[in-house]
């Protein structure tokens, strides 16, 4: 089983080396590493050049955003399993790919998307917390999504469902997961692994990013949940919580 690990980056000079080291340090023998850089100007390319011999495919050019870059990586990938690792995130140890392979082999081999747990590290407070997904159903996806660093995709699922919608700025992964979930031929499987430390505090958490994410989430809900009672339940519940504090 070959893995394709994809990192997209832009001006990530302070974090990209840790990400790279966590990938190339894996003890699993069969994987490729793809890095898509958005024409960085801060010294990121100098670091990438230092590790060029360890990177299977390296592209540095302007793109149309994170999902454009992720799609470039998908098109280059030759592995059976694709994973995305953000440029400030990192694998928790050198055994991640081996552990994931073993979990896949001993779980549902016919699933199209596997997802696990992650550590969410808040760069502002310096605190980390364990994130575990709940039951993956319509209600779960109405509230939020699966974080893509904790997901492992079979390559051919992108042929079935399509790649990421590049019209989204922040929530393209949410749209893809929702689209895939409602696709009758796609199967998700939870595997109890802890592969990634996810660094919280990126673009989506800035004031402007949060506003964009909120707008995009509404758009996605309208696309896939036109008949869903949760559209009524959650606004009422949130108003009660705000008013009464529970």
Here the tokens at position 208 are 């402007």
The rounded mean pLDDT for the chain is 90
Is the CA virtual torsion 154, 155, 158, 161 positive or negative?
negative
Here the tokens at position 39 are 């024409």
Tens of pLDDT, residues 186-202: 999 999 999 999 998 75
CA distance 246 to 244: 6
Give the chain's domains with CATH numbers.
Answer: 3-244 (3.90.550.10)
What was the pLDDT predicted at 205?
Answer: 54
For the cut 90, the answer to whether the pLDDT of residue 242 exceeds it is no
Residue spans of alpha helices (H) in the chain: 16-24, 44-50, 66-76, 96-106, 138-143, 157-161, 172-181, 207-224, 230-244
| Residue labelled with tokens 């850089």 | 37
243 versus 186: the higher-pLDDT residue is: 186
The answer, as to whether pTM is greater than 0.95, is no
Helix (H/G/I), strand (E/B), else coil: 87? coil
């Amino acid at each position: 089983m070959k893995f394709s690990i994809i990192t997209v980056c832009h001006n990530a000079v302070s974090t990209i080396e840790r990400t790279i080291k966590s990938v190339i340090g894996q003890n699993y023998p069969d994987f490729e590493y793809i890095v898509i850089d958005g024409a960085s100007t801060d010294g990121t390319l100098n670091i990438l050049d230092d590790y060029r011999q360890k990177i299977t495919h390296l592209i540095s050019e302007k793109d149309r955003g994170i999902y454009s870059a992720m799609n470039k990586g998908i098109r280059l990938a030759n592995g059976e399993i694709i994973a995305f690792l953000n440029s400030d995130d990192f694998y928790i140890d050198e055994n991640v790919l081996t552990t994931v392979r073993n979990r896949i082999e001993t779980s549902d081999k016919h699933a199209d998307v596997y997802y696990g747990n992650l550590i969410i590290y808040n760069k502002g407070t310096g605190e980390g917390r364990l994130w575990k997904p709940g039951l993956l159903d319509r209600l779960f996806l109405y509230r939020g999504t699966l974080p893509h660093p904790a997901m492992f995709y079979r390559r051919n699922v992108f042929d079935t469902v399509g790649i990421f919608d590049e019209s989204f700025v922040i929530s393209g992964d949410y749209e893809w997961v929702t689209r895939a979930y409602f696709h009758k031929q796609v199967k998700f499987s939870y595997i109890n692994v802890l592969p990634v430390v996810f660094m919280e505090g990126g673009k989506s958490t800035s004031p402007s990013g949060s506003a964009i994410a909120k707008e995009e989430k509404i758009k996605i809900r309208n696309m896939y949940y036109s008949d869903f009672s949760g559209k009524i339940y959650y606004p009422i519940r949130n108003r009660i919580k705000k008013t009464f504090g529970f």
